[in-house]
Amino acid sequence: MRIVIILLLLANITLYLFTRLDTGSGEAILLQDQVQPDKIKLLTPQEVAALGPGKVAALADVCVEWGPFSDPDRVRASTELEPLALGRLMSQKRVDYDNGYWVNMGPFASRATAENRVAEMRRQGVKEMSIADAPKSQFAVSFGNFYSEAAATAYADQLARLGITLAKVERRTQPVSQTLIVVRDPQQSVMSRLRDLSAQYPGTDLRTTACERAS
């Protein structure tokens, strides 16, 4: 009887040790199959950008920059994105370019004359305007600065459709400040909408990049 008990005890110990060893090696093999550091590659911002907007929805922590925009176009583009309810996923970034184009009207002999013209154009539906200094102590009405000639010309055409036919496009030699609209981790539906809208804003494009870290 004692021999039977000893044999059962040894059998239980052997089974226990086998189970522990098998479990350990099985988990090790499973972990080795799942985590393979040599096959993990971190993409640089340049490599992320090379993927193109079409693949960006499948990635995490990737941003799409749309622009650049003058102030009038920035307001209009932001309004068109409101139905997407992006919330904190959308932000704006100011960028400066060495030169650009200016849509303006004038010159006017006095500030009062320029202000009267601005009041008339507001009644015609133009919202974004400001009074700017012009040569020879005169004044001009500025409709905004643009990074590209295509964007400036497109906006002048838009003004013409409102009846503002005297607006002209001129090149600027001083720095021009513009805005990029930044969307973080966009879904495919958001990317489709951005592509559609980008085609309606001459001089803008979409660029994928690594998201900037919050300071």
* pLDDT for the residue numbered 135: 86
Peptide bond into 107 cis (omega under 30): yes
- CA angle at residue 169 from 167 to 173, to 5 degrees? 135
Residue holding tokens 């009887």?
1
pLDDT (tens digit per residue) in 180-207: 999 999 999 999 999 999 988 888 889 9
Choose among 203, 190, 205, 214: nearest CA to 56.
Answer: 190
How far apart are alpha carbons 171 and 105 in whole angstroms? 14
What average pLDDT does range 143-147 have in this prediction?
A: 87
How far apart are alpha carbons 88 and 101 in whole angstroms? 32
Phi, psi of 111 (to 5 degrees): -65, -40
How far apart are alpha carbons 134 and 80 in whole angstroms? 34
48-57, 80-89, 167-176: segment of lowest average pLDDT? 48-57
How far apart are alpha carbons 47 and 87 in whole angstroms? 27
Confidence of residue 18 (pLDDT cuts 50, 70, 90): very low
* pLDDT for the residue numbered 77: 93
* pLDDT for the residue numbered 2: 45
Whether the full predicted model's pTM is greater than 0.85, yes or no, is no
The encoded tokens of residue 163 equal 């009846």
The encoded tokens of residue 84 equal 């997407």
Percent of the chain with pLDDT over 90: 44
* pLDDT for the residue numbered 173: 79
Cβ atoms of 103 and 144 within 8 Å: the answer is: yes
pLDDT of 99 above 70? yes
